[in-house]
Amino acid sequence: MTARRAALVRTMVKFIATDLDGTLLNGERLLPEEIFPLIAQLKECGVLFAPASGRQYANLKKLFAPVANDILFICENGALVKFRDRTLHLNPIRDLYLKDALDEIRALPHLYPMLCGADCAYIEDTAMPFFRYAMLSYTNCKKVETLDAIIGREDICKIAVYDEIAAAENCIKVLPPRLPQLRTILSGYDWCDVSAPDANKGEAIRFIRREYGLKKEECMAFGDHMNDYEMLTECGRAYVPENAYPPLKKLIGRTISPNTEGGVLIKLKEIVRELREEQA
């Protein structure tokens, strides 16, 4: 074996994680059907695949139903990692911070909180378009009289906060100073996520690397927004689509075609070809 080929084998990709909205999903926010055979091909090449999203497990499992038993699920922006319905990793918000956090969010205009448990999400407001968006991204979502009643009943992975103005212009500026014990991060155009201070997709990747004995250079990730930053920096090969949030593009540098042109799919096909050549 040549030195060059040996180097290729040592750095072979063994794990791939990708964000969904704005990254893998197309312009209509739909999962391209082409991803399923690609995941099967990656598995044949010895690569473990994981959708990594702010979405809940129930929603992700429904989206990836044809391959649900073959992939890892990084849910709730990294606070929850699941495999075949088994919880591998959970990093919830401590109950003692939840009531104060909800009160701070409610005290600000234009913001709508949602409590995201490991199995179900909860809302107390049906204002549009918040209600519609909540139901779109959360398969298991219940309306309750008050979110305070949920505290202490189950682990809460994060508080998703809908901003009817724009999260980058409002929520991310006003919330962090009010919630110093928690982590507030942009997760989309009109969403911020509030989580435990060390809960993020990068922390989930570190857990997965330890659990599966993976080296950083054997991991690849795709993402388009700031809630993907830690994940991207924890993987040796990191890419952002051309449509990514500009500050993230500047930080990561390596780009692929936009999600509307199937940039992630194009890159995955390239990886499958490379792996098959290396394994031939």
Q: How far apart are CA 171 and CA 108, in angstroms?
A: 9
Confidence check: pLDDT of 182 > 50: yes
Query: What pLDDT sits at residue 1?
Result: 41
pLDDT of residue 277: 85
Question: Would you say 254 and 246 are in contact if contact means Cβ atoms under 8 Å apart?
Answer: no
Q: What is the pLDDT of residue 279?
A: 76
Identify the pLDDT of residue 175: 96
- Domain span(s) for CATH 3.30.1240.10 in the chain: 95-195
pLDDT at 138: 86
**CATH 3.40.50.1000 segments of the chain:** 3-90+199-279
Model confidence at 260: pLDDT above 90: yes
pLDDT reading at 2 higher than 60: no
- Quick check: 9 pLDDT over 70? no
Tens digit of pLDDT for each residue in 63-112? Answer: 999 999 999 999 999 999 999 999 999 999 999 999 999 999 999 999 99
Kindly report, residue by residue over 10-41, the tens digit of the pLDDT.
468 999 999 999 999 999 989 999 999 999 99
Task: Tell me the per-residue pLDDT of 224-256, one tens digit each, with 9 for 90 and over.
Answer: 998 899 999 999 999 999 999 999 999 999 999
3-90+199-279 topology per CATH = Rossmann fold (3.40.50)
Domain 95-195 class, CATH top level: alpha beta
Q: Mean pLDDT over all residues of the chain? A: 93
Residues β-bridged to residue 113: 161
